[in-house]
Amino acid sequence: MLRSAAKNYEDVTVIVDPADYQKVITEMKSNNGVVSKETNFYLAKKVFQRTSQYDTAITQYLAKI
């Protein structure tokens, strides 16, 4: 679901790193609840990096079975 949401980054804000909460909250407060496409793109890249790491961990685990 994270990847699906991140693919729609122009309209969807996806957070996988708690360190990004404050950035998003601050932006929403200053922009009437809106997060910019630039911020959403930055966050989407983090999603793909995280899911890639997860997929790699699964692949490595299954290779040992």
Q: Tokens at residue 49, please?
A: 């990096």
Residues 6+ apart with CB under 8 A from 55: none
Tens-of-pLDDT digits for all 65 residues of the chain? 999 999 999 999 999 999 999 999 999 999 999 999 999 999 999 999 999 999 999 999 999 99
Closest C-alpha among 51, 57, 48 to residue 7: 48
The one-character DSSP state at 8 is: T
Domain residue limits, the chain: 2-63
**CA 51 to CA 40: how far, in whole Å?**
16
pLDDT value for 65:
92
pLDDT value for 7:
97
pLDDT value for 58:
98
C-alpha radius of gyration, the chain, whole number:
14
pLDDT value for 47:
98
